Structure 1
Amino acid sequence: MVAGEAVGHAAEAASHGIDLLPVVALLAAGVIAVPLFKRLGLGSVLGYLAAGLLLGPSGLEVINDPASVLHLAELGVVMFLFIIGLEMEPSRLWSLRKQILGLGVIQVAVCGLLLTGVGILLGFAPAVAFVFGMGFVLTSTAIVMQILGERGELSSDSGQRMVSILLLEDLAIVPLLAVVAILAPTGGEETLVSRLTGIAIALGAIGLLIFLGRRIMNPFFSLLASTKLREVMTAAALLVVLGAALLFQVSGLSMAMGAFLAGVLLSTSTFRHQLEADVEPFRGILLGLFFLAVGMSLDLAIVLQNWGIIAISVAAYMLVKAGAIYAIARALKSSHGEALERAVLMGQGGEFAFVLYTTAATAGLIDGPTNAIFTATVIISMVLTPFFIIGLRYVLPKEETQSMEGVEKADGLSGKILIIGFGRFGQIASQPLLAMHHSVSIIDNDTEMVRVAAQIGFKVYYGDGTRLDILHAAGAGTADVILICTDKKEQTTRIAELLRDEFPLVRVMARAFDRGHAMELIKVGVEYQLREMFESALTFGGDVIKMLGASEEEAAEVVEGVRDRDRQRFEMQLAGADQLEGSRLLLSNARDQAREGGVVLSEEAVEDTIAKSTQPAS
């Protein structure tokens, strides 16, 4: 009562201006609850959910309309998928097609069939059971992505498989809404016409966004970048995300999928890292607000009135869904640990279930109390998921976590030479620089390596070079030369791309894995690259021929000849690859122009032209 009266007085005091109480309460809840729950090892998601439950109608009643907050907070999921899209280049997305269309379809179909059967066993009509089950099939993208992001597993193989399934589930909401319209009691010829019109509009929206992404967005951002106004670029980034979401929303599609597609289309843009940096703060705040709103939406009164059916539904649906996911994963050759982790992470219902249930209620397929029971079931499953993940730690073998004891993080470094990666290659490369008393800063993301380096007299800071904020903290913006000495080629390329886009004036030298990787690094702007074993193997071969009787001069001449021939072959291969790419681009343009004139170029003509264009000049 006291809390309610305080809220009432605050609301009355704010009646002549902006009511800041809900805003302050939400911010305070997030600032206090999340660090506390993280400190207790319960995770940020559970902290947000608990804070939302406390502030909502079932708690202190600071906010009595959680639905309005939830609608706004869904933008957090939208922005999260935009950032994921920025990491999904079309080629990478294409490489995941088998997982998206294979693994994703199998999981949705099998789980949907089983959960529909569970609904029928619980006493619901078949159509209602189908809606209940398919809504629960749609996993919470926000929860899974947040947990994978916190763990740094979004780019891992198991993480990519879960992302693929989530993408398919997000796409599945579109046909599911159409099925609800078919099952609704108000069917007819007019409904069929409107449905076909809706499909045409949806396809048109996808085509329009692809056209804008490929033809308009890059020139648009180039024009804005010339103004050198950071706030304009931030506003443009938000315009792209929200504009794509709005386009898909009015077309009857998922806002999140619109943002994701916009991100994919911009993933090859030179502005992608800038866009990610601009959207990230809004994404974090709004995603936290989404979890707060989900916690607020849990109506304890409805739960108490229908606790029996809700408890049985939560237990049955989560167990059946998790069991099906585990069985599918094992059948497709996943390990026990990966299958169990996927089952626990994806065993809950998600935010798109609310959309499906609301649509079904509006269409008259389910009534209000049934909608409330379904919604409460999904929300409770979302609330329980973090607890199950905590329990999973005691079931699966414990992974060693890096201790930060005795390790200093990179912050405010100002060395003129920045070395990223202090493995065997980085250690040797650093010694001539230190011997010449150059100002050198060194970072590595292995804490044990940092501690070992300190024991032998090297000052190495902890930092992940693939993160833009760490590069800033490590002094990349003020360095004269940056040496990328990491031992994973994907990591090396990622760092080189970040440096090219964010610090284009800095000279970059890199350790290459092999010849193909060396050419890849040159194309992303690395000024000098060296294959990690080339020089050592060449020296080794020179020492062999000296052992077999060659003089120092002969060995040096032979080694230099091998080095020179390799350099020539490398330059020819690099020029040939560039020429081939340029030829394909020219032919693509020629083909477009010919098509506009009513002429179609045959594949034989294309390949013949490419072959001629890539022949070495005489």
Structure 2
Amino acid sequence: MGAGFLNIVVLMFISVCAVALFKRAHLPPILAYLFAGILAGPQILSVFAHPEQMHLLAEVGIVFLLFSLGLEFSLPKLLAMRSLVFGVGLGQMLITTAVFTSVPYFLGLSLSASIIVGGTLALSSTAIVIKQATEMGILNNRRTQLAISILLFQDLAVVPFLIAIPLLAQTGEVSIGLALGEALLKGVFVIAFLMSVGKWVLPWVFREIARTRTDELFVLTTILIALLAGGLTYYFGLSMALGAFLAGMMLGESQYKYQLEADIRPFRDILMGLFFVTVGMQLDLSVLWSNLFEIVFGVFALMLVKVVLVRLASMLVKTDPIDGWSAGVKLCQIGEFSFVIAALATTHGVLSTQQSSLIISMGVISMALTPWLMSNSVLIAKRIVKSDLALTDEETSLRHDSLTNHVIICGFGRVGQSVARMLKMEGIKFVAIDMDPVRVQESRNAGEPVVFGDASQKDILISTAIEKATLVLVAFDQVDKAKQVITQARTISSTDVMVRTKRDYQLESLYSAGANQVVPELQEGSLMLVSQVLHYAGVPMSRILKRVRAERKGRYDHMHGFYPGETTEISYGTEDKLEFIHAVVLSEGAAFVGKPLKDIDFARMRVKVKGLRRDGNEVKEPNENAILQAHDVLVIAGKPRRVERAERKLLEGN
């Protein structure tokens, strides 16, 4: 137990250092995880002598990844993409498998081994492409959607291979057809079952959980549903990832989509990192070293051929040439399921250990090149097509195409809704975030742009296109939560943040947290009342507006503090927040009679001088050099204890 724990700590330490170093060199984290895996693998540090033992846990990372992808691809969206999935996807899989099967067959490999090699080389990496596309913010543009359509079909195509491998080892051709037919029936049943559960049961489950307002329960249920769906498909002999994808797809239309995505992301990213570490561990350095030339040549030949074949497949649905080439560049690596197929084929004796090690070596190298290829896919495609068009904004996310110069309202309660109505009257776009499931449901039914989620979570703010917004308004009165929203907003963009609060107790702390404007309701209400009073008293409107502006600029300086009375309640929670105004009468024996005001050092005591009365007349803005006299009345303001301390000092000198 102790040794196992130490190994995990060592692996985490290597991963953290690798990610930090690669980030410093502006390289993607995926490469850092692969590198950490190679270091920790049985060849170098041998932290884990049997990396295959970690493979199931790492596969859970792919389950979460596909669940997140399912949330992006709701059923209507997938049906709209069916020509891409079953047209380009099927075309690519058939053409590529046929080409890569023929090469080893002509080189003398058996037909069964050649088919497995062809299948493994035809697959691309769902994990890398989707993770990289998400980080780059291009998941929803048409080029990436073309690539994802092909990946979705590839994930479906893995299933027949996993079923066929044990049967190929027995070389019973009749049983292959029967087994594939049986798998197809199972697949249809499982998909129909999951889709009906997703449509009728899951929304009700999440509605009930959202009502409990328990964050932990929401997160746990999300993880449980992703794993249950994956486990169900796995039980029926299909891919775990397929079940998770279907569960995510069913929830993709629900109002909880963004919150589910935000909740599952930390688990997904950690387990995906672990998956890439296990991939790195599988690299056999001795095979790599002894066949370095063949592997490097094989990788470049493979990637080149795959780019061309994906382009050929994309021509089946007459896609734009740049989109076709760009999708090819994105998908020219070997996929993570190739490792699963290669490992299974080796176990059943269809492939030799040497052959599967060659495939894994080629896979790791091609995966390592993918992040760079994805970043430059459009540029490469335009070079091939010889298009000198400037890069368009196509490579940016289309998720919030319509949202620019909008206002984000965090909290859609009484205040949030009032602001939204006024914005609507002025034709200003807005999007609201709220955690009340009933309110979200009601508002969405009425056509209001409301997202269910916790506004203090980064992913939720990103989903509302915060980088394009003109203002983030925190409309709920929870100061700690408001500070979290400000912090997250500041890490994503420089958009202005306005915070509404009931009273001005936390004014300074909200400003220091990064708020651009804090609006205390009580002071603003008083200010509106004062404006009305001054207007009725005959003060010109221009002077009233000037006075209001000055008050806001001075952070409601003249509105702080009040004279306490018999009914003033001082509780434990408010004693350090209330500001009192207190009049101190200097008797003839007072310690500071005959001394200047500056000697008292009110600033150190954090007390302000509000005024000085002498012989019944007010001395406006008393000078710090003003000498105090007997019978003067000094008006001071501050927190109750500080006012008491200042009075004691004035009268007694201590």
TM-score grouping bracket, smaller chain normalisation: 0.5 to 0.7
Which residue of 155, 170, 184 maps to 1:170? 155
Mapped contact 1:80–1:283 kept (Cα < 8 A): yes
| 1:280 Cα offset (Å) | 1.4
Matched, 1:249 2:234: yes
Encode CA deviations 1:213-263: one digit per residue, 9 max, x unaligned: 233222323333333322122111111000111111111111111000011
Encode CA deviations 1:112-144: one digit per residue, 9 max, x unaligned: 111112223444233322211111111100011
Encode CA deviations 1:150-202: one digit per residue, 9 max, x unaligned: 11111111111111111111001122334434533352877776665555444
Task: Using the aligned pairs only, state the percent identity.
Answer: 32
Distance across 1 between alignment mates of 2:243 and 2:178: 25
Q: TM-score, normalised by structure 2?
A: 0.57
Q: 1:304 to 1:34 in 2, by over 3 A?
A: same
Which residue of 463, 466, 474 maps to 2:464? 466
| 1:101 Cα offset (Å) | 0.8
In terms of fraction of residues, the more helix-rich structure is 1
Q: What does residue 113 of structure 1 align with?
A: 98
Q: What does residue 349 of structure 1 align with?
A: 334
Which residue of 461, 476, 479 maps to 1:478? 476
Matched, 1:365 2:365: no
Q: What does residue 81 of structure 2 align with?
A: 96
Distance across 1 between alignment mates of 2:419 and 2:7: 45
Distance across 1 between alignment mates of 2:132 and 2:324: 16
Which residue of 124, 129, 136 maps to 1:151? 136
Distance across 2 between alignment mates of 1:227 and 1:429: 34
Q: What does residue 73 of structure 1 align with?
A: 58
Q: 1:352 to 1:76 in 2, by over 3 A?
A: same
Mapped contact 1:322–1:344 kept (Cα < 8 A): yes
Paired residue type of 2:216: E
Deviates more, 1:103-112 or 1:180-189: 180-189
Mapped contact 2:113–2:351 kept (Cα < 8 A): yes
Deviates more, 1:222-231 or 1:323-332: 323-332
Distance across 2 between alignment mates of 1:185 and 1:411: 62
Deviates more, 1:115-124 or 1:256-265: 115-124
Q: What does residue 125 of structure 1 align with?
A: 110
Q: What does residue 86 of structure 1 align with?
A: 71
Q: 1:64 to 1:399 in 2, by over 3 A?
A: farther
Mapped contact 1:360–1:366 kept (Cα < 8 A): yes
Paired residue type of 1:355: V
Q: Could you list the runs of 5+ residues in structure 2 that have no partner in the other structure?
A: 383-389, 397-406, 430-460, 479-654
Matched, 1:59 2:44: yes
Which residue of 296, 301, 306 maps to 1:321? 306
Q: 1:126 to 1:153 in 2, by over 3 A?
A: same
Distance across 2 between alignment mates of 1:39 and 1:294: 23
Matched, 1:235 2:220: yes
Distance across 1 between alignment mates of 2:243 and 2:467: 28
Q: 1:426 to 1:393 in 2, by over 3 A?
A: farther
Q: 1:178 to 1:46 in 2, by over 3 A?
A: same
Distance across 2 between alignment mates of 1:51 and 1:155: 31
Which residue of 6, 29, 37 maps to 1:44? 29
Q: What does residue 338 of structure 1 align with?
A: 323
Secondary structure, counterpart of 2:334 in structure 1 = coil
The 5 A counterparts of 1:9-20 are: 17=2, 19-20=4-5
Distance across 1 between alignment mates of 2:366 and 2:255: 41
Q: Could you list the runs of 5+ residues in structure 1 that have no partner in the other structure?
A: 1-14, 403-409, 431-462, 481-618
Deviates more, 1:171-180 or 1:146-155: 171-180
Q: 1:420 to 1:398 in 2, by over 3 A?
A: farther
Distance across 1 between alignment mates of 2:161 and 2:316: 27
Paired residue type of 1:47: A
Mapped contact 1:186–1:363 kept (Cα < 8 A): no
Q: What does residue 514 of structure 2 align with?
A: none
Distance across 2 between alignment mates of 1:192 and 1:265: 31
Secondary structure, counterpart of 1:226 in structure 2 = helix
Distance across 1 between alignment mates of 2:27 and 2:425: 38
Distance across 2 between alignment mates of 1:131 and 1:420: 61
Q: What does residue 514 of structure 1 align with?
A: none
State the Cα RMSD in Å.
3.8
Encode CA deviations 1:22-45: one digit per residue, 9 max, x unaligned: 333333334332343234232222
Q: TM-score, normalised by structure 1?
A: 0.61
Q: 1:25 to 1:426 in 2, by over 3 A?
A: farther
Paired residue type of 2:277: L
Deviates more, 1:249-258 or 1:205-214: 205-214
Deviates more, 1:180-189 or 1:107-116: 180-189
Q: What does residue 524 of structure 1 align with?
A: none
Paired residue type of 1:88: F
Deviates more, 1:248-257 or 1:55-64: 55-64
| 1:475 Cα offset (Å) | 4.3
Distance across 1 between alignment mates of 2:323 and 2:176: 44
Distance across 1 between alignment mates of 2:119 and 2:289: 25
Q: 1:221 to 1:286 in 2, by over 3 A?
A: same
Deviates more, 1:411-420 or 1:278-287: 411-420
Distance across 2 between alignment mates of 1:290 and 1:469: 31
